Amino acid sequence: MSTDVRDELAPAPDPEQPREWLTYVSLSYRYLRLGMVALVCLIFVAVVLEVSQTPDKCWQGSISAYYYTPVQFVFVASLVAIGVAMIVLKGSNEWEDAFLNVAGMLAPIVALVPTVNSGSCSSVQPMEDATTAARNVGNNVAAYGIIGAAALVLTLIGSIRSRKALSAPADLPPMVRYRFSLVISAAVAALVAVAFIWYRPFFVENGHPIAAFTLFGFIILVVCQNAFQKSVTAREKGKQKYLVNRYTVIAIATVVSGVAIIWAGLAHNWEHWVLIVQATEITLFAAFWLSQTFDEEKKIPHLDDAVAAGVVKAQTVPPAGLTK
């Protein structure tokens, strides 16, 4: 049969359905990205509330140390959710997608493998001791590894099937054709698995700082890559000040502030320099994320433009479940 059987069985399309479909997609995308910013704010609010409950209104040496306080559940849940969202959201290009995937994979490690420094400022007794924390790491990271491996396999299968469905896969950019994002994600997962299985004591003791440092590194790469891409686009449009854009400002602030705070903290032996650098980098990334969210929304075509460009057919019936 030359005609798809679905064309014969499909009900008469509603002209308003394509508009509802575009609205559904754009709103889902917006709320998912804004939800990540809300989770960051949730961690900050939980920390401030915990500080207000301490006798001396003191601060822990790092955000990570709040794992051992009543903030623990907010800290873990928020980082895991943020990590999943980073992986789920598709980057604007293969570089950004790879950076987001790696950062998303590391965020749950930061959450599930606590820092060994529990700090001395808490409104209650430490939530866990070293023995309990090590036991929890063994169970939770193992579960995360099993689900993560399954997700990578399913992603690979889906990627292969989608490539076969393309009419001209050879025309794809090399990074897409060779699944660069999936390859680098699998490599990071393999390194984590090796450390967890064969070097468990080292993993329990050092897994958190290594994962956290690498996570921040890839977040900075995401910001810098967007600053570079926006500059290239501006130059192609003939703008004279193509190097000046808000992404560039955020990227410079992220790198300079990180280096400056770390140097000052180590040089002057600041007690809370880790806390300050973490809070600063997270806040700058949230500012970048909000800015990018609004920029990406502008790329979502209006219904009439989408129809004209062939993105949405005038009589397209959205997939089942997308309509109200």
As a whole number, the mean pLDDT across the chain is 82
pLDDT confidence bin for 294, thresholds 50/70/90: confident
User: What is residue 115's three-state secondary structure?
Assistant: coil
Higher pLDDT, 318 or 105: 105
Q: Is position 318 within any domain?
A: no
Helices first, then strands: H and E counts in the chain: 11, 0
In a domain, 150, yes or no: yes
Q: Check whether 314 has a pLDDT greater than 90.
A: no
Residue 315 lies in a domain: no
Residue 177 counted as domain residue: yes
The predicted pLDDT at position 174 comes to 53
Provide, rounded to the nearest whole percent, the portion of the chain with pLDDT above 90: 55
At 4 the pLDDT is 40
Could you count the other beta carbons within 10 Å of the beta carbon of residue 156?
Answer: 14
Q: Does 299 have pLDDT greater than 50?
A: yes
Domain membership of residue 49 (yes or no) is: yes
What distances in angstroms separate CA 56 from CA 62, 75, 123, 135, 273, one per listed residue? 17, 22, 10, 32, 19
Q: Which domain holds residue 47?
A: 14-309
Rounded to two decimals, the pTM is 0.83
Residue 158 forms part of a structural domain = yes
| Residue 191 pLDDT level (bands cut at 50, 70, 90) | very high
Into how many domains does the chain fold?
A: 1
Q: Is residue 5 part of a domain?
A: no
The per-residue pLDDT for range 92-135, each reduced to its tens digit, is 888 898 999 999 999 999 999 999 988 889 998 876 776 788 88
317 domain residue, yes or no: no
**Would you give the distance in Å from CA 207 to the centre of its chain?**
19
Check pLDDT > 80 for residue 20.
Answer: no
**Is pLDDT of 2 > 60?**
no
Look up residue 79 and give its two tokens. 């980082």
**Arithmetic mean of pLDDT, 33-47:** 96
